[in-house]
Amino acid sequence: MLVEGQPGIGKSRLLAEAIDAAAERGFTHGHGATDDPRQLKPLAPLMAALGESIQTLLTAREIVPSDAVDLRLWLADEIQARLEERVAHGPLLITLDDLQWADTTTLLALRSLIPELASYPLVWILSRTTGIGDSDVDKLYEVLERDGATRILLEALSEQAVAGVITDVLGAAPGPELLALAAGAGGNPFMLIELLAGLHSEGAVEVAADHARLVSQRLPQRVQEIARNRLGRLHPPTRHLLQVAAVLGRSFYVNDLADMFGEPTTRLLPALEEAEAAGVVIPAADRLSFRHDLLWRAITETLTEPVRQALHWQAAEMLLKRGGSAIPAATHLMQYARPGDIYALAGLDRAVREVLPSSPQTAADIAARAVELSSPSDPGRFDRTKTAVHTLTSAGRLREAAELARAALCHTMPPGHAAHLRYQLAYVLILAGRPLEAVVEAEEMLSQQDLSDELRGLAEHVLLTGMNIGGEYRRGRKRAEATVAAEECRNQPALMSAHVLLTSIARAEGRAADGIGHIRKAARYAASGPFQAQCPRLYLASILTDMRQLEEAETLLQAATEEITALGHTAHAASPALFRAKLRLAQGRLDDAAAEAQAGLAMAADLGMHIFDPFGIAVLAIVTARRGDIDTAARHYKSRHQAGQGPAYGIEWCDWGMALITEAQDGPHKTIEVLNALYTDPPQQSSLPMVLMTEPAAAAWLTRLALAVAERPGAEVVAAMAERLAEDNPSFSTLAASAAHAHGILHNDPKALTHAVSTHVGPWDRASAAEDLGVLLARTAGGSDHDAAILSLDQAFDGYQQTGALRDAARVRATLRKLGVRRRHWTTIERPTSGWASLTDTERNIVTLVAQGLTNPQVATRLFISRHTVKYHLGHIFSKLDIGSRVELARLATDIQARQQTGRITSNSSILDDSQVEM
Report the SS3 class of residue 295. helix
pLDDT of amino acid 227? 63
pLDDT, tens only, 514-563: 999 999 999 888 765 443 455 788 899 999 999 999 999 999 988 888 77
Residue 610 pLDDT > 80: no
Query: How many C-beta atoms surround the C-beta of residue 680 within 10 A?
Result: 12
Contact between residue 371 and residue 388 where contact means Cβ atoms under 8 Å apart: yes
Contact between residue 623 and residue 601 where contact means Cβ atoms under 8 Å apart: no
With cut-offs at 50, 70 and 90, classify the pLDDT of residue 67: very low
pLDDT of amino acid 221? 47
Domain-wise residue ranges, the chain: 2-153, 159-221, 225-303, 304-385, 606-615+637-828, 836-901
With cut-offs at 50, 70 and 90, classify the pLDDT of residue 919: very low
| Residue 228 φ then ψ, to 5° | -65, -40
Q: Are strands 211-214 and 251-252 parallel, antiparallel or unpaired?
A: unpaired
Angle, CA 118 vertex, CA 114 and CA 119 arms, to 5°: 155
DSSP 8-state code for residue 253: -
Residue 907 pLDDT > 50: no
Mean pLDDT of 652-661: 83
Q: Are strands 92-97 and 122-129 parallel, antiparallel or unpaired?
A: parallel
Query: How many C-beta atoms surround the C-beta of residue 420 within 10 A?
Result: 22
β partners of residue 152: 3
Report whether CATH 1.10.10.10 matches the domain 836-901: yes
pLDDT of amino acid 132? 67
Which of 179-193, 741-755, 897-911 comes out lowest in average pLDDT? 897-911
pLDDT, tens only, 121-131: 999 999 999 87
The answer to whether 2-153 and 225-303 have equal CATH topology is no
Contact between residue 569 and residue 563 where contact means Cβ atoms under 8 Å apart: yes
Rounded Cα distance, 82 and 76, in Å: 10
pLDDT of amino acid 407? 93
Q: Are strands 281-284 and 251-252 parallel, antiparallel or unpaired?
A: unpaired
β partners of residue 213: 206
With cut-offs at 50, 70 and 90, classify the pLDDT of residue 816: very high
Contact between residue 57 and residue 64 where contact means Cβ atoms under 8 Å apart: no
DSSP line for 545-587: HHTT-HHHHHHHHHHHHHHHHHHT-GGGTTHHHHHHHHHHHHT
Report the SS3 class of residue 288. strand
Report whether CATH 3.80.30.20 matches the domain 225-303: no
β partners of residue 123: 93
pLDDT of amino acid 640? 55
Element (H, E) at 29: strand 28-33
Dihedral of alpha carbons 449, 451, 453, 458, sign: negative
Rounded Cα distance, 731 and 514, in Å: 12
Contact between residue 346 and residue 330 where contact means Cβ atoms under 8 Å apart: no
Reference 58, options 84, 79, 87; nearest CA is 79
Report whether CATH 3.40.50.300 matches the domain 2-153: yes
Length of the chain: 919
pLDDT of amino acid 611? 76
Which of 201-205, 244-248, 576-580, 795-799 comes out lowest in average pLDDT? 201-205
pLDDT of amino acid 836? 81
With cut-offs at 50, 70 and 90, classify the pLDDT of residue 354: confident
Residue 353 pLDDT > 60: yes
Sheet with 281-284, strands from edge to edge, namely 251-252, 287-290, 281-284
Question: 28 to each of 13, 25, 49, 57, 85, how far by Cα in Å?
Answer: 18, 9, 11, 21, 13
Rounded Cα distance, 120 and 122, in Å: 5
pLDDT, tens only, 445-503: 998 888 888 888 889 999 999 999 888 888 999 999 998 987 555 678 889 999 999 99
DSSP line for 196-227: HHHHHHTT-EEEETTEEEE-------SHHHHH
pLDDT of amino acid 312? 93
Rounded Cα distance, 818 and 813, in Å: 9
pLDDT of amino acid 911? 38
Reference 1, options 135, 130, 128, 134; nearest CA is 128
With cut-offs at 50, 70 and 90, classify the pLDDT of residue 649: low
The pTM of the whole model exceeds 0.85:
no
Angle at which helix 550-567 crosses helix 72-87, to 10 degrees, equals 90
With cut-offs at 50, 70 and 90, classify the pLDDT of residue 799: very high
DSSP line for 473-510: HHHHHHHHHHHHHTGGG--HHHHHHHHHHHHHHHHHTT
% of residues, the chain, pLDDT over 90: 43
Q: Are strands 205-208 and 122-129 parallel, antiparallel or unpaired?
A: unpaired
Rounded Cα distance, 512 and 259, in Å: 70
Contact between residue 384 and residue 367 where contact means Cβ atoms under 8 Å apart: yes
pLDDT, tens only, 211-226: 888 876 554 445 556 6
pLDDT, averaged across the chain = 85
Contact between residue 257 and residue 248 where contact means Cβ atoms under 8 Å apart: yes
User: Please, where are the H alpha helices in 675-731?
Assistant: 676-680, 688-694, 698-708, 712-728
| Residue 235 φ then ψ, to 5° | -70, 150
Sheet with 205-208, strands from edge to edge, namely 173-174, 211-214, 205-208
**Quick one: how far is CA 392 from the chain centroid?**
18
Report the SS3 class of residue 373. helix
DSSP line for 857-909: HHHHHHHTS-HHHHHHHHHHHHHHHT--SHHHHHHHHHHHHHHHHTTSS---S
pLDDT of amino acid 906? 46
Contact between residue 170 and residue 207 where contact means Cβ atoms under 8 Å apart: yes
